[in-house]
Amino acid sequence: MTPQFLIIDADDTLWENNIYFERAFDEFVEFLDHSKLGPREVRAVLDSIEEVNARTHGYGSLNFGRNLRHTYQKLVERAVRAEDLDTVMGFARRILDCPIETMAGVPETLEYLAARHELTLFTKGHPDEQMLKVDRSGLRQYFRHTAIVKEKDCDAYLRLVAERAMAPDRTWMIGNSPKSDINPALAAGLHAVLIPHAHTWVLEKQELAASDGRLLVVERFEDLRRHF
């Protein structure tokens, strides 16, 4: 086929990510030990705090830790001690030590795609943290370019396409998040490939926009070989 420009998401597309945040949340709920609120109610409070703070502070484990700390201070039923706040932050800090667990078939599929198309890694979050994950993954070699942004919105896609001189009719965004990967890419006039993930962060979920035939949905990353 004609060479395409493939923009590929990182977290929960190339490797597991949100499962480690979920485990940290479970530890947090156990430590909070609220007498009336269960995990679902605590999660609702955390989600509301994260939704507000993400606009200012962005994403990543450090900001997640701050959001856990804020949630703890809001919900705790005992005196707040400095050592308790440090414990809460520790739940988030340990995320950085988690292994990079690539999805099934990712290295082989990237090698196949890189020989035929131009690949760009496009992710959001703290630049140092995201770049560390890229380096630890061993996947950098397959990408012509890596871009890390604070937010993946329509303007971010338009800037990337302009900077890399990508032809929109041959450009595809590949990822698991309707909010950050699919809908803004479609709004920017690009094609998109959705690879659903069972543990996509709740704040990344969104109704899919009308695609006018520009959206492809596959079950697994390795299925991309059948289409590109």
Helices (H), 33-142: 39-57, 61-75, 82-93, 106-114, 127-137
State residue 225's pLDDT score. 96
List domains and CATH numbers for the chain. Answer: 5-15+101-226 (3.40.50.1000), 18-97 (1.10.150)
123: confidence class by pLDDT, cuts 50, 70, 90: very high
Residue 225's contacts (CB-CB under 8 Å, 6 or more residues apart) are 109, 112, 113
State residue 57's pLDDT score. 78
State residue 1's pLDDT score. 78
What pTM was computed for the model?
0.91
Residue 69's contacts (CB-CB under 8 Å, 6 or more residues apart) are 85, 88, 89
Residue matched to tokens 């679902």: 40
